[in-house]
Structure 1
Amino acid sequence: MRLTTKGRYAVTAVLDLAIHQGQGPIALADIARRQGISLSYLEQLFAKLRRQRLVCSVRGPGGGYNLARETDEIKVAEIIAAVDEHVDATKCGGAGDCYNDGPCLTHDLWLDLSHSIYEYLNKISLKDLVERRGQPTDAEQTRIGQEPVMARSKAQPSQLPASA
């Protein structure tokens, strides 16, 4: 995968902003402190996020950043793309020249995986992440003997024919 810390940090920082939304503009120094991300790195990321109209800045004393849209309107894939990240499982960056100037044997498999990951991330909004954050994890629920909050689909083993 080619999702680097740039994409991860951007999602983390924007999620932090979403969690603290409604408290006035949020200073990048506060996000940096809470999330353990370099302030200068956050400044670079937020410049890109601002250009893509995901966040807006407020200048002056008490200034900082706010989300530019509602949390249910901002998708994780959009945040990752805003900081010039790509979720790509192919060796060739999707160009199809991974083997002797043509596609390798598994090119379509990795390309399909890349598309599936993008589609998955494009279905998840900041609102979903904020709401999920307040719920116990599966491991926490197992310890207290409850059913998981978010039911995970379990893949069923494929049925082999009797002659196999």
Structure 2
Amino acid sequence: MVSGERRTAMIRLSKKMLFAIEAVLDIAYHAGGEPVQSREITRRQGIPRRYLEQTLQHLVRNGILTGVRGPRGGYRLARERRRITVGEIVRVVGDLEASEELATDLPGSELGLFVVRPLWNELRDQLMDRLDSLTVDDLCTRAFQGGITSEAEKNLDFTI
């Protein structure tokens, strides 16, 4: 996405959206320099593989993740975690789920058209502004402050 360009996504916390945010956070928090395999994300997060693989591939195609091939392959963040926002992830998954009918295509009353929908759009824009201000790094900080142990840290071996 070009800097400054913002697409609006329908705000609906779907399973795919939740799984995508959790998967990107998992990769950022547990990677430790090595690619993270989807089975590791599935084990830690309890995300069904059928949801996960499609979502991870879509995140790769949209520049949030990078796929690494090979026996030790997996997924990495495509950019520094402070440069990936939750809003970006939400938009990518929103595009993936965009096959549903949007409220703008529906007929409506004057109250709906001139009061309810503008209110909903305003709230959606405020939520997206907040999600755009939250980075994956911010979520990693919250995980650390919450006492969640990173597997990357557990796997460090300082013996000589």
TM band (smaller chain): 0.7 to 0.9
Match of 1:116 among 113, 118, 126: 126
Per-residue displacement from partner, 1:86-140 (whole Å, max 9, x unpaired)? 9xxxxx8452755148715322111100000010000000000101112249xxx
Which residue number in structure 2 is paired with residue 16 of structure 1? 26
Structure 2 regions of 5+ residues with no counterpart?
Answer: 1-10, 148-160
CA distance in 2, matches of 1:20, 1:72: 15
Identity %: 37
Higher gyration radius (CA):
1
Which residue number in structure 1 is paired with residue 45 of structure 2? 35
Query: Residue 34 of structure 2: SS of its match in structure 1?
Result: coil
Note the C-alpha offset of 1:84. Answer: 2.7
Which residue number in structure 1 is paired with residue 144 of structure 2? 134
More helix by share: 2
Structure 1 regions of 5+ residues with no counterpart?
Answer: 87-91, 138-164
State the structure with bigger RCO (CA 8 A, min sep 6), 1 or 2.
2
Q: What TM-score results when the alignment is normalised by the length of structure 2?
A: 0.74
The answer on whether the counterparts of 1:3 and 1:85 sit within 8 Å (CA) in structure 2 is no
CA change 1:96–1:57 in 2 (3 A) is closer
Q: What TM-score results when the alignment is normalised by the length of structure 1?
A: 0.72
Query: Residue 107 of structure 1: SS of its match in structure 2?
Result: helix
Q: Which runs of 4+ in 1 moved over 3 A?
A: none
CA distance in 1, matches of 2:56, 2:47: 12
